[in-house]
Structures are given as C-alpha cells and as structure tokens.
Amino acid sequence: MSAKEAPTLPLLTPYKMGNFNLSHRIVMAPMGRLRSYNNVPQPHAILYHSQRTSEGGLLIAESTGISDTAQGYPNIPGIWTKEQVEAWKPIVDAVHAKGGIFFCQIVHVGRVSNPDFQPNRQAPISCTDKPLSPQSHGFDSVTTKFRAPRRLTTDEIPHIVNDFRIAARNAIEAGFDGVEIHGAHGYLIEQFLKDQVNDRIYKYGGSLKNRCRFALEVIEAVSEEIGAERVGIRLSPFADYNECGDSDPEALGIYMAKSLNKFGIAYCHVVEPRMKNPEEKSECSQSVVPMRKAFNGTFIVAGGYDREDGNKAIVENRADLVAYGRWFLANPDLPKRFQLNAPLNKYDRKLFYTTNSIYGYTDYPFLETIA
Ligand SMILES: Cc1cc2nc3c(=O)[nH]c(=O)nc-3n(C[C@H](O)[C@H](O)[C@H](O)COP(=O)(O)O)c2cc1C
C-alpha cells in the first residue's frame, strides 16, 4: 500500500486547540540548546526552527528566561530585554512563514543556579533557602555548582509574578502565538509546588492550596496580560528532577489540573511519570490519566513517546496532542517520517548542549537528502 492510500494515523489527524487549527498532533517539545550567546537568540535559530516547522504544526520554543535572575545555564535565551525581543522576531517570522504555531516557554530557574548567573553575583532566589546538593547538571559540556538560594520574602513574590507577566507580553510583542509557563523539572514554580522543597509557612507554603498559590498567580497574571487562550503550562508532578519531589504527586497533579479549569487556558502539558528526569525513561505504574480527566482543556503529554505509543495515546483518548523532544531534535521532518513510517535519524546526545551553531543543531538530514 502506498503512503497515499494508507489510513490516516491518529497523530496526523487535525485538532482545534481554541483558536488554533492544528493540522496534526505532533508537537515539538521545548528543548534548551544553549546556543543563545549571552542570552540573546541567534540567527542560527531561524534555520533550526524553520526546519522543524510544518504547516499547522505546534512548536514550543526552548525555556526562555523571564528576567536577569532567571538563568542557571549558559546561553539560554531570554525575553526580558528589547534586544532579546528583537532577536526573537525573525525566528518567529520563519515559523509563521511555513504555517507553524509557535509558543515560547518562559522560565525562572529559581535555586537551580549560582552567583555566576546572577546580577551582582547575588545568591539565586527561591521559595526556600535549602540548597541543592552541589552537583553537575549532567550536561556533557556544562557543569554547574549550585549555591544556597535566598528565600524570597512574601512581599517580593508579586514582583516575580510580574516578571512572568512582562515576559509574556514581550513574547507576544516578538510575535509568538502564546507562552508556555514552565512549571516543571524543579525550577522556581515547581520549587513552590512541591513539599520536598517548599518549607514555607503562611501564604505560599504548607497546605497544597498554599503551595499552588504562586503557580496560579502566575497563570492568572499571564492570562490577564495576553489572554488565557494564548497560555499553556507544563507540569511534571511525578518527576524529581533537580531534587524536587513531592510526597503525593497525584494529588498535586489533580489539584493543579482542576485549578487550571477556571482560567480557560489553551493547554496543560504534562511530563509522563516514567520520566523521572527529563531524558531517561523508566518503567512506572503511575499515570497522568487522572489529570487528563480533571482538566477540561487541551491535554498534551510528553516523555519517551515513539510513533506507536503516541498514536495509542490519541486513540485511547489519554491525550489530545503528543510532544516529542529528542526525536524532533534529530528529525526535522518528524511528522512526515511518522506518516511514511520512515526510519528515524538517531540523536547525538554529545551535541545536545554545545555552542556550535550547526553540528547537532541544523545538520540533521531530511528524508529526501538521505534517499
Ligand atoms: C536537549 C534537551 C533539552 C531540553 N530542554 C527542555 C526545556 O528547555 N524545557 C523543558 O520543559 N523540557 C526540556 N527538555 C525535556 C523535553 O521537553 C522532553 O520532555 C524530554 O526530552 C522527554 O521527551 P522525549 O522522550 O520525546 O525526548 C529537554 C530535553 C532535551 C533532550
């Protein structure tokens, strides 16, 4: 049977996410590539994103810092200065020129940082003053020693919420279709959410409701600023990456999923429980289905999916969309390869996080060039 006669794959069926008409359900997951020198997006990102754009496909840009205290890695892009906003514009334009839909993932890393990344070499900020154990990020080319964070005072928290608001406004100014709030992987929002890190008492700590307050204030502020239909959030209640675990991840996930309903945001994007860290899959009996059921909007899953189990997630209605990280990194034409059931390029882990503007970045071949 030729590709044309083949039945349509569930992953390749159209989907309407609010005002966005997606032509298929294969999303590019956010992936930091550490090639935005001095936190400014670079021209090589135009080609990288354009290569991975398909008409009606959704792309989520890599985690992008909201302020000068938000960084913990070298060369991640930011969106708090005019120069950064201007630098994003041609990248966004290139995605739009090919009919893609482009969200920007906005992040504050909180305590996953050290004074080298902070203004005036100050301590990183967090909900806590508990340090991460000194360790490397596990990136081949990046080793960071963590330093004890400074605990934010209650009065300071609205300023950080406001930084998210301004970053979202800037993302729209840069042309993005929306933002994804990074509430996963042990960064600032998750530091508040999870009881193994959040040791506050009073307004932003203690009860589940209080731990979720910061995240929900960010969502409210960002939704007010740019419209809820342009807002998504990424959550990883089951992961313990960056030493950020919770004693009852299922209750946390369901509480957040239900709380999101009142904002009417574009989507909730959940990292699978099997992804205890962002890169390695392991067997696990927990499931995101209760969160899927609790949330009324578009539900995106990510983490360790291939063509077969992505299709299965759609058929079994466990998700509306499936985000692919490493396979998209290495296969710019991933939707086409899935359509044709073509072999996939292998990804080269050593080149995930180098500063090189071509190798391991824009040099993964398209199907036509291999044939
Ligand atoms: C190179 C690389 C960079 C990543 N950077 C981010 C990031 O900036 N934000 C984020 O939420 N997840 C990040 N992740 C996690 C991915 O979005 C995704 O959840 C993970 O790769 C698992 O999906 P996969 O099995 O399809 O690769 C990164 C993963 C990789 C491999």
Specify whether the CB–CB gap between 367 and 336 falls below 8 A: yes
Specify whether the CB–CB gap between 329 and 344 falls below 8 A: no
Question: For residue 146, what pLDDT is reported?
Answer: 86
How far is Cα 190 from Cα 198, in angstroms, rounded to an integer? 9
Question: For residue 134, what pLDDT is reported?
Answer: 73
SS3 label, residue 189: helix
Question: 């992804």: which residue's tokens?
Answer: 275
Who contacts 71 (Cβ-Cβ below 8 Å, separation ≥6)?
Answer: 39, 65, 78, 109, 113, 117, 118
* Residue 180 beta carbon below 6 angstroms from any ligand 1 atom: no
Q: Which residue type does 269 have?
A: H
Q: Which residue type does 346 have?
A: K
How far is Cα 50 from Cα 329, in angstroms, rounded to an integer? 12
How far is Cα 246 from Cα 243, in angstroms, rounded to an integer? 10
Closest CA to 183 of 111, 72, 270: 270
Question: For residue 281, what pLDDT is reported?
Answer: 73
> Taking the mean position of all CA atoms in its chain, how far away is CA 332?
18
Question: For residue 279, what pLDDT is reported?
Answer: 67
Q: Give the position, in ligand 1's atom list, of the atom nearest the Cα of 105.
A: 9
Torsion of CA 348, 33, 73, 279, to 10 degrees: -50
* Residue 232 beta carbon below 6 angstroms from any ligand 1 atom: no
Nearest residue (by CA) to ligand 1, atom 22, is 303
Q: What percent of the chain has pLDDT over 70?
A: 94
Bridge partners (DSSP) listed for residue 106: 64, 181
- The tokens describing 341, both together, are 């059931």
Bridge partners (DSSP) listed for residue 58: 101
Closest CA to 117 of 85, 144, 141, 82: 144
How far is Cα 353 from Cα 322, in angstroms, rounded to an integer? 24
How far is Cα 358 from Cα 355, in angstroms, rounded to an integer? 9
H/E run at residue 195: none
Q: What is the pLDDT of residues 262-305, one digit of tens each?
A: 999 999 999 998 876 666 777 777 899 999 999 999 999 999 99
* Residue 304 beta carbon below 6 angstroms from any ligand 1 atom: yes
Q: Give the position, in ligand 1's atom list, of the atom nearest the Cα of 353.
A: 1
Residue 126 φ/ψ, nearest 5 degrees: -160, 180
Q: Give the position, in ligand 1's atom list, of the atom nearest the Cα of 347.
A: 31
The residues assigned a catalytic role are 187
Question: For residue 141, what pLDDT is reported?
Answer: 45
How far is Cα 268 from Cα 175, in angstroms, rounded to an integer? 22
Going from the Cα of 3 to the center of ligand 1, the distance in angstroms, rounded, reads: 30
Question: For residue 137, what pLDDT is reported?
Answer: 54
The one-character DSSP state at 263 is: G
Nearest residue (by CA) to ligand 1, atom 11, is 30
* Residue 215 beta carbon below 6 angstroms from any ligand 1 atom: no
SS3 label, residue 179: strand
Question: For residue 285, what pLDDT is reported?
Answer: 78
**Which segments of the chain have a pLDDT < 70?**
1-7, 135-144, 276-279, 370-371
pTM: 0.96
Who contacts 178 (Cβ-Cβ below 8 Å, separation ≥6)?
Answer: 103, 104, 171, 172, 226, 229, 230, 231, 232, 266
Q: How many CB atoms lie within 10 A of CB 32?
A: 20
Going from the Cα of 243 to the center of ligand 1, the distance in angstroms, rounded, reads: 17
Closest CA to 44 of 350, 334, 361, 353: 361
* Residue 73 beta carbon below 6 angstroms from any ligand 1 atom: no
Who contacts 99 (Cβ-Cβ below 8 Å, separation ≥6)?
Answer: 53, 54, 55, 56, 57
